Structure 1
Amino acid sequence: MLPTHGRHGYHPWRGRPQWTWPGGARLAVYLGVNLEHFAFGEGLGAELAPGANSGGGLQPDVLNHAWRDYGNRVGAWRLIEALDELSLPCTVLLNSAMYDHAPELVAAHRARGDEIAGHGRTNSERQSVLAEAEERALITESTAAIARHEGAAPRGWLSPWIAESRVTPDLLAEAGYRYTLNWCSDDQPVWHATRAGRILAVPYPQEVNDIPSIVARKDGAAQFAEMIVDDFDERLRQVRVGVPQVMGIALHPYIVGQPYRMRALRRALGHVAAHRDTVWITTAGGVYDHAAALPSGRLPE
């Protein structure tokens, strides 16, 4: 027998129970907007040009640090404008360090009524390498900052770099989290077992996600936009006769907030928005609320 995580069982896609999202929709769509802050001269971070420093990756790496911060200073504001134009909500995946670094940006999402979910303290660190007490402290600190500024604790969590230790789901459930976005193993929400009860894994994309697409695979702006449209259209075709699905679209403002990428992204999001009468455009928290209220046995676990 191979080692297993023990969080959930295997459930084949074919033959699952039928149910619907609000309004009779069979496809739920949400946008996950990552607002991240990075330490200068240390820690982790996505790279526009790996090893850009002339010393071969030595710090401080001004090029990559400044590229990432462009998202908070410029790109995220362009993205908000596009979301306003299209009347699209989003779930903000928030590094709590953003409250000190760019409080006006977080306030702008708050004013829109967007959901704020936990995304650690900073993406300069991974919780997967921490001892349990240190990881618990990270979750506690990030959660407390969001609760203090937003007036309520977040219900959902995405780990920085989607990095989990063996006890991350347990710690999240113990901290009061209702859903996690860390697992990309399904197109429906899946109940995960923890030592503090169940937590719902809401699907978060690793394909329709600008980091693996644009940074890792070097896809162009038009290709990423086409990916969104094709993923959406194919799901629409499938749910006519198949089981209901969740489609997430993962966005990072320092990537998609570049002007030429915004132009392509706006077209793709406009295509999704034009179908709002037949699909349910929501937030990750909205997916949780509806899924958690379904009768027992409707979701995999």
Structure 2
Amino acid sequence: MSLPDHGRYDYVPITRRPEVTWPEGKRLAVYIGLNLEHFAFAEGLGAELAPGGPQPDILNYAWRDYGNRVGAWRMLDLLDRLSFPATVLANSAMYGYTPELMAAVRARGDEVAGHGRTNSDRQSTMSEAQERAMIEEATRTIHAAEGVAPTGWLSPWIAESKVTPDLLAEAGYRYTLNWCMDDQPVWMRTRSGPLLSVPYPQEVNDIPAIVARKDSASDFADMIVDNFDEMLDQSQGQSLVMGIALHPYIVGQPFRLRHLARALTHVAGHRDEVWLTRAGDIAEHWARAVPPGAKDGAPR
């Protein structure tokens, strides 16, 4: 008896993949996913950094807002010092709430990927019509501000309905960061054609590490360094993708930022060996090198 299956991609082990190299013959692509999020006050979802109470939950709301008011600015300064690009995963509500921050992202030339309207909502609880309308609203807001439509998407809370990949493909998205099942991009099936899954980390990610597992700032920095060093070794025989997922209200705190700077300085120090890039650039390169239907590269 077979188990229920999503039908989105086939099982192809990492040992049986197309031969691909990144630009300049490099083997490891590294990108930062910088989450910029706005939350509704006194309603909806929100990460609880401390045990929450009845709404209005002032403590956790203000704690998260520190990331937009202070932490994100400190992180952009750090990325500037290291000449490190980023993929900014932005709630579209950020354009109304923090226009100066989004302008600073634009001035850096960072990629802006869709991240829903707000992290107070979860796509998995929406009807198909509601979800389609939310994706369209978020996409339209980003397009109007940036002059180009986003090509990538990370769902708030990484929550999908059964039709999320279909809706993303129908809205013009070319890649998703929702699925964390691989160290290489993987083509997924949708009812409207292929959609590329670009690896997004659930280990080298400050929310699971620091909020859920209670790892220290030093532990998280060591995790970035160890993951990078090991993947750099592994990539000598096979091109890989390493994502680093960051939230300014967590690692933008001063004592954590100092440790993050240590880790990112280590990564940036290898820029001659690795491709420091953005998730959209990874998706574009892979789509050219391994188009849908290529042997062992995509569902057929």
**How far does residue 217 in structure 1 lie from its aligned partner after superposition?**
0.3
1:167 aligns with 2:133: no
Alpha-carbon deviation of 1:239?
Answer: 1.3
Report the counterpart of residue 176 of structure 2 in structure 1. Answer: 180
Alignment partners' CA distance in 1, 2:295 and 2:29: 19
Preserved contact between residue 12 and residue 296 of structure 2 (Cα < 8 Å): no
1:287 maps to: 282
Residues 35 and 93 in structure 1, CA contact (< 8 A), matched pair in contact too: yes
Q: Distance in 1 between matches of 2:260 and 2:100?
A: 24
Give, in whole Å, the separation in 2 of the partners of 1:138 and 1:297.
35
Distance of 1:220 and 1:299 partners within structure 2: 38
> 1:239 maps to what in 2?
235
Deviation at 1:186, TM superposition (A): 0.4
Task: Say whether 1:18 aligns with 2:19.
Answer: yes
What are the within-5 Å matches in structure 2 for residues 45-124 of structure 1?
Answer: 45-51=46-52, 57-124=53-120
1:36 and 1:94 in contact (8 A); partners too: yes
> Cα offset for 1:231?
0.2
Q: Structure 2: state its 5+ residue gaps.
A: none
User: Aligned partners of 2:296, 2:145: CA distance in 1, in Å?
Assistant: 36
TM (normalized to structure 1)? Answer: 0.97
1:299 aligned residue: 297
Q: Normalising by structure 2, what TM-score? A: 0.97
Which residue number corresponds to residue 250 of structure 1? 245
SS in 2 for 1:136: helix
| Deviation, structure 1 residue 192 | 0.3
State whether residues 19 and 298 of structure 1, in contact with CA within 8 Å, keep that contact through their aligned partners in structure 2: no
Q: CA deviation at 1:300?
A: 4.4
Correspondences of 1:119-130 after superposition (within 5 Å): 119-130=115-126
How many aligned residue pairs are there?
Answer: 295
Given that residues 11 and 300 in structure 1 are in contact (C-alpha distance below 8 angstroms), is that contact kept between their aligned partners in structure 2?
no
Identity across aligned pairs (percent)? 69
Q: Which residue of 1 aligns with 2:194?
A: 198
* C-alpha displacement of 1:298: 6.0
Cα distance in 1 between the residues matched to 2:131 and 2:20: 37
Aligned to 1:271: 266
Looking at structure 2, the residues matched to 74 and 291 of structure 1 have their Cα atoms a distance apart, in angstroms, of: 35
Cα shift at 1:236: 0.8
Q: Which residue in the other structure is 1:2 paired with?
A: 3
Name the stretch that deviates more: 14-23 or 287-296. 14-23
How far is 1:95 from its partner? 0.2
Where does structure 1 lack aligned partners over 5 or more consecutive residues? 52-56
Q: What displacement does 1:15 show?
A: 3.1
CA deviation digits over 1:58-82, x for unaligned, max 9?
1000000000000000000000000
Instruction: Please list every run of at least 4 consecutive aligned residues from structure 1 whose deviation after the TM superposition is greater than 4 angstroms.
Output: none
Distance in 1 (CA, whole Å) between partners of 2:166 and 2:20 is 29
Query: What code does the residue aligned with 1:21 have?
Result: W
Inter-partner Cα distance in structure 2 for 1:190 and 1:71: 32
In structure 2, C-alpha distance between the alignment counterparts of 1:154 and 1:28, rounded to whole Å: 20
Deviation at 1:14, TM superposition (A): 1.6
Q: Tell me the secondary structure at the aligned position of residue 3 of structure 2.
A: coil
Residue type of the alignment partner of 1:286: D
- The worse-fitting range, judged by mean Cα deviation, of 267-276 and 9-18 is 9-18
Q: Deviations over 1:126-169 (max 9, x none)?
A: 01110000000000000000011111110000000000000000
2: CA distance, partners of 1:233 / 1:298:
27
C-alpha RMSD of the superposition: 0.9
Counterpart CA distance in 1 for 2:91 and 2:295 is 34
The answer to whether the 8 A contact 1:188-1:299 is kept is no
Corresponding letter in the other structure for 1:34: N
Residue equivalent to 1:54: none
1:137 and 2:128 aligned: no
